[in-house]
Amino acid sequence: MNPFKKITLILFFGLLFPFVEAHSETAEITTPPVPTIAATAFILQDYHTGKVLAENNADAKLAPASLTKIMTVYVVFRELSSGRLHLDDKATISEKAWKTTGSKMFVELGNQVRIEDLLKGVIIQSGNDASVALAEHVAGNEETFADMMNQHAARLGMSNSHFKNSDGLPIADHYTTARDLAKLTTAVIKEFPDYYRWFSQKEFTYNKITQQNRNKLLSRDESVDGVKTGFTDDAGYCLVASALREDMRLISVVMGAKNANARANENQTLLNYGFRFFESHRLYQGKTALKEARVWKGDSKTLDLGLAEDLYATIPRRLYKDLKAVITVDQKITAPIKEGTKLGSVKVSLNNEVVNDIDLIALKSVEQGNIFRRLSDSVLMLMEKSDDGK
C-alpha cells in the first residue's frame, strides 16, 4: 500500500447500524414551502448546524427594541465568565438608570442591587433601568458599554449590527438584523447554558413587584425555553424564540409583527414548520477517534484522528438513510504533529449536495521519534515509493 496516497472512506448512515450499504435509489426531497409570515423580517435556523430553514429580509438592518438586551446580557455573561464580575456583586443605581423610561424593574435611586437580580430584571422583566445599571457598572458609562457590545458583535460575525445603548430605546444608528440575532442567540445558549435557563423563567419579583415574562410562547409551548421580546413604535413587535424537541433545537426570529399576539403566533408557525419537516442528527462525536492513521518518523507509529466538536447534519425528514459521509486522510503524515492539526476532512452529503464539510484533526500530539525510528522510516518510505513506481 502506498503511504503517500490519501485514504478515503465512503460511509452511508443507516437506522440499525452506524453504516450500511447504499440504497440503489435515493429519496426525493419534497419539503413544503415556507409558510407566509406577517413580519418585516424573519429567520428560522437549526442551533447545532446553523442551517437556515426559512428566512425573509434576514439581513435588513432594523431597530431591535428590547432584543438589544440579548447582547446586553451576553456582554455581562462574558464578564462573569472571565471572573471580572460576580453574581453577588452589587451595582449602585444612578439617576440615569433610575430615570430611564419604558419597561422597568423598578430599582430605586441610590440602592445597591445584586448583579444576578439585575440580570433577571433585564431577561424576565425587560427592565430598561436594569439594563442601564448593568452597563454603567460594567463599563463606567453606557457609551463605553455600547463599544463593548459592538466589539462582541464583530467577534461573533454580526456584520450588520451596530449598538448605541443597552436597552434598545430608539436612537439613531442603532440596528441589527434577524440573522445577526440568531447568531447572537446561538452564542448565548452555547457559551452560557447555566445562565440561559433564566430566559425560560415566567415571572420575577423585585421590590415586592411581580412581573410576567412577555414571551407568550413560554406558556403555550413547553418546548420553548426563551428568548426575548421587544417593542417600540419604530421596531414593531419582535420576538426571538428558541425551542428544544428531543435533541433538535431551533431558533426563530421575528421582527416587525403587528402586535404581541402576532409575534408569538408567527414564531410558533416557524418553529412548528421546522420541527415538522426537518430533523437534526449528531453524526459523529467530537474528540473521539474516527480513523487511525500511520505516522512516520514519530515516537508513535499511529495517531487517532477525529473532530474538534460534534458533527451534526440538518436534513429534510425521512432522509437519514441517504446521508453519505466521505472521510479523507492526508498523505504522508510525518512527525512532529501538534494536537489539533488538520490532517484530512469529513464531508457529509445528501443526494450529491454537501451538507457539512469539517476538518479531520489530530487528537493528540506526536513528537519526533529517536534517530533509529527516523532512519528506519526513511528507508521504508523510500522502499514504498520504489514499489509504487514499478
Residues 6+ apart with CB under 8 A from 194: none
How is residue 131 written as a grid cell?
Answer: 439594563
Tell me which residue has cell 486522510. 329
Query: Which one of 69, 216, 297, 324 is the catalytic residue?
Result: 69
Clarify whether 69 is annotated catalytic: yes
Query: Which one of 51, 66, 94, 252 is the catalytic residue?
Result: 66
What residue spans of the chain are helical by DSSP H? 68-82, 95-99, 115-123, 128-139, 142-155, 178-191, 193-196, 217-220, 260-277, 371-389
Clarify whether 386 is annotated catalytic: no
What residues does 62 pair with on adjacent strands? 176
The DSSP code sequence of 92-134 is EPPHHHHH--SS-----TT-EEEHHHHHHHHHTT--HHHHHHH
Residues 6+ apart with CB under 8 A from 85: 76, 79, 115, 138
Clarify whether 66 is annotated catalytic: yes
Query: Which one of 103, 104, 120, 126 is the catalytic residue?
Result: 126
CB-based contact 231:260 (threshold 8 Å): yes
How is residue 323 written as a grid cell?
Answer: 446521508
Q: How far apart are CA 185 and CA 216, in angstroms?
A: 18
Catalytic residues: 66, 69, 126
